[in-house]
Each structure stands twice: as C-alpha cells, then as structure tokens.
Amino acid sequence: MTTADYVDAGEAIDQGLLNYKTPGGDVAPPVVAEVTYERILNAREEPQNWLTYYGAYNGQRYSPLDQLNTENVRRLTPAWVFQAGTSGLIAGASTYSFEAAPVVVDGVMFVSGWDGWVWALDAKTGVEIWRYKHAIPFDVSLCCGNVNRGVAVAKGKVFFVTANAHVLALDATNGKRVWDKTYGDVRAGESATVAPLVVKNLVIVGSSGGEFGTRGHLDAFDVDSGEHQWRCYMVPKPGEPGSETWPDGEAWQRGGANCWLTSTFDAETNLLYVGTGNPAPDFDGEVREGDNLFTDSIVAVDVDSGQIRWHYQCTPHDVWDYDSIAECILFEHENRRLLGHFDKNGYFFVLDRTNGERVSITPFVDRITWGAITREGQVTAKVYPDKEGEPVHFYPGPAGAKEWTHASYSPRTGLFYVPVQDTGATATRRRREFKESIPYWGAGVQVDIEDMAGSISAFDATGEEKWRYRNELPMCASTLATGGDLVFAGKPTGEFVALDARTGEQLWQFQCGSGHHSSPTTFSVDGRQYVAVPVGWGGWAEGFLPGMLGAGHGSALITFALPEE
C-alpha cells in the first residue's frame, strides 16, 4: 500500500494513526447512528444483528437465529474469508492473537485486532469498508499477549481500547477518530484489552496489568464527548470498605483486581456485574496477608454512580493466579433472577444477582487439588507455593479450569456450555521486590504439557453435568449457542465444530488452519444466517507457553453459511 492510499496521510502519521481507503470505498452506511441504548437493551429482539459484545447485556452468547439447525448444519461451508494478517509472532512472553468478538449492525461488521487495528467490513461479502490503525509504543508492558477483545457501537461511533490504555471513539462511517482518552498509566504497567460496553450514555471499560502490580479499576466515559464520568477502584484504600482485608502498608496500592473482561448488565437492578482479576503479586501471599478484597470477586457496580453495591469473593487470598474475570451470565430459574459464573478455580457459582446471595457452588472440572469449596461457600486451601524455591504442583493451573474465553447459555435448553481446561502447573515461589512496570509474579511457573485434557461440558442451573464433548487438549475458545439447538466451539488445533446442544454430538467440523482463542458470533443478512469466527493464535495459557500451538499462522476472520440455493 502506497502513500497515495492513505486518507489524510500526513496528518494521520503526525497523530500516530492511519486511515486507509479500500477497494470497497471509504465510507460505511450510517446504520450505527441509530444504535441507541434502547436497541442494545432489546438486542435479542433483532436477532439478525449482534449489537454488543455478548450479543446482549445478559452475557448469554445466545442467538435465536435458527436457519442453521441440527438437520442442516452438515452443509455449512465458508461464505467468505477476511485475511487480517500474521499472528502468533513471539514478543517476549507475549503473542499476537486474534481474540475479538465481531459486532454486526444491519449488514456492517466491526471487528478489532492486535496492535490497535479496527476494521469495518461488509458482513455479506467480507469486503473491507475502512480500517483504522492506532500507534502502539513498542515498550508497552503486556503480561499475556498483544490482544484486543472487541468493540462497542452506538450513536454513530465505534469504541475500542488500545494496548497503551487509551479508549477511542471512531466515526462508524469512515473510521476517523472522534475522541481519544487515556485511562491508564503505561509507565506503571497498565494496559487495556477489554471490549467496551455501552450502557445508557456511558462507555464502560476496565484496566489490565495486574501482573505488574497495578491497582485495578472500572471507568465510564461519556459516549458523545469522551469526558470521564466515574472510576471504581477494585482495591480499597485505607478506611474504605474492604480495606481491613489488606495489610498495613503499600500492598493495596499495587493490589491487582483488574477488570479486563467485559461486564454484563441488568437494567432492572441498574447494576454492572464485573469479574475482577488476581491480586498482586500473583503467587506470593506473604506480602499481602488477608482476603485481599475485591480481587477474585464478582462485584456489582451501580452504572450511574460507579459505586460498589455488593460483592462475592470466589477465591479469598488467591495464591494460584485464579482471576475471577470470567463472564457473569444472567438468567432466570425457578422465579429467581440469577447469575452464573464459571471460575478459573474450577467451581461454578450461582448467585442471586439482586443481592449477591449464594445459591449454589459446584465443581465443573475433574481435577481440583489446590483446595476445596463447600456448597456453603467455605474455602479451604490445601496446596500453594508458600516456601521460597520449593516447587508446588496443583490443579487447575494458573490458566484456569476455564480461561477468559466465554461460556454460553441457551434459554431453549436451560443449559450452560462451558469450554473446560483440565491441566495443572507447578509454581515455585520466588520473592521479588516491587518495581514499577516490571512483572510482579512472585513465582516461576511451569504448565503441564504432557497430562492435559479439555471439553465442552453442558451444565444445568443446579450444576449437574448433562453431557461432555471431550478433547485431547484444553478448550480455549468461547462457545456460541443458537436457536437451532447448536453449540459452536473452536479448538486450539484449528478445528471449528458444531455440536447438538441437547446431546453434545458433533454434527460438523471445519479445519480453519490456525488455533481458536476468540468469540464466534452469528447474524443474518438478506435472510441468510452466517457464523463468524476470528482465528489465529500463537500461544496458550495466557502467555505461559507462547508458540506452543501453531506460532506464525496467519489470522483471519472466517464466515460460514449454508450454500446459496
């Protein structure tokens, strides 16, 4: 691509961003201008679209579309492929990985990639409409990959975050920057990877960087102006509720609890449901005695004020790196408004989402040796790295029994579909003094590579397992449930499969040529249903084994549909 292909090239280079003209033209239809809070609130009433990160505020990753079903999915074939570029390139302990969830609005798809890329595509043909590139400094501190998990759209804008902790709004018709705000200190090791969430007139984003001893926070910006509206820190300072769970001194200032995955939202309670990350240092608990609130917690935050209303801590005083950042799926069962959360520690938590009351706790993976949690919520630690230089082995490993990638829930079947990782690790405590922007792990970690397994497992609301689709390797990509009684899931070895949502039987498979570590979505254009999945992954287990599975493979967005008649 030559200089002549740039839009406003000189100005763009000066500003550290690039907008490209493309063969399909340089403007998209102004459909996103009509995406309001009310439309997102009722997103599942327009199943042809995928308006927000999880498809809807409830986090279910379910679409009522049923053109694709258990009878005809065997005929599914690629409709178009968008080549996004090379991924899997090793950069220290990090990899470039395509982890986004495509958002689709009335025939236009918006998707983000690593290194500050955002694309607008014709959702029917895959033709690129525009692209944006935000300049990312080479010295940004990233613990676990140069990644971005997606965009939000509303009121004529596309919102996304960058690795150097900016949140931006682009004009949805041409990709030009509307506003750009910084909300993290990269010098201190803060970064951003989260897909934003638009609620009312707010853009909600969270911070990354817990492995560098940052203090996690959730932030809200005005959709129109970009003005900062509120910040909610997830580690309380002295005197605030929860501060008694931290020792005296400076530990709270670098306590972690970052909010690096997208929240879910309930308009009736007016609450955001946020999963928080691990405490820092990850494995050395002696320097941060106590339960360490609000790390490894489900936190309910008032969307208007940013105030914490209730919390539930899944792993008090975590010394295994068990972030509780996983999605909080909102559902109804036996006339109760509930929340389901599959935690990295291996347990499935069901809470009353109005007040955080515990409803049930059940294990969802076979091997759990780090400790135990009773049905009454009593946590007992059994194995942990407490002695300097002494290796300790435990299950699940720090990558978790379920990684950040998402479960889905079908209201048709009443089942949750969970990507499970059954693998252990060895951690050896190695105390390190805190230094700004330097990794603050507190241990050396080695993931098991000989004895591992995975599955897509289906559970009901009580935690009873209904079926299991087994895999030789951990399942590390989000699932997608549809009204055609299908569950889609990707494997780290490249296969994309469709399962029967009621039995777990594999009905279809396609080899995509690179590993899956993203979130597939489904939509329809002109009455034809499509399933889109980003592929391209050069690592596994949050950077512990970069390049283990297919480093250097290209990244692509592959979209499937039934053959046209």
Any idea which residues carry the catalytic annotation? 321
Residue 396 to residue 417: CA distance in whole angstroms? 19
What are φ and ψ of residue 480, in 5° steps? -135, 125
Q: What is the DSSP letter of 242?
A: T
| Amino acid in the structure at residue 343 | D
Terminal-residue alpha carbon distance, the chain = 37
Residue 169 to residue 158: CA distance in whole angstroms? 6
What are φ and ψ of residue 170, in 5° steps? -110, 150
DSSP string, 155-193: TTEEEEE-TTSEEEEEETTT--EEEEEE-S-GGGT-B--
Place of tokens 């979505």: 521
The residues, ordered by sequence, that sit 6+ positions from 10 with a Cβ below 8 Å of its Cβ are none
Enter the tokens of residue 183.
Answer: 């909300």
What is residue 12's three-state secondary structure?
A: helix
Place of tokens 């360490």: 292
Residue 342 to residue 350: CA distance in whole angstroms? 9
Residue 209 to residue 219: CA distance in whole angstroms? 15
The residues, ordered by sequence, that sit 6+ positions from 519 with a Cβ below 8 Å of its Cβ are 53, 61, 99, 100, 101, 149, 150, 405, 406, 477, 478, 480, 534
- Count other Cβ atoms within 10 Å, centred on residue 317: 18
* Cβ atoms of residues 27 and 373 within 8 Å: no
Residue 261 to residue 277: CA distance in whole angstroms? 9
Residue 19 to residue 118: CA distance in whole angstroms? 10
Enter the tokens of residue 341.
Answer: 């959360």
Residue 492 to residue 323: CA distance in whole angstroms? 21
* Cβ atoms of residues 190 and 208 within 8 Å: yes
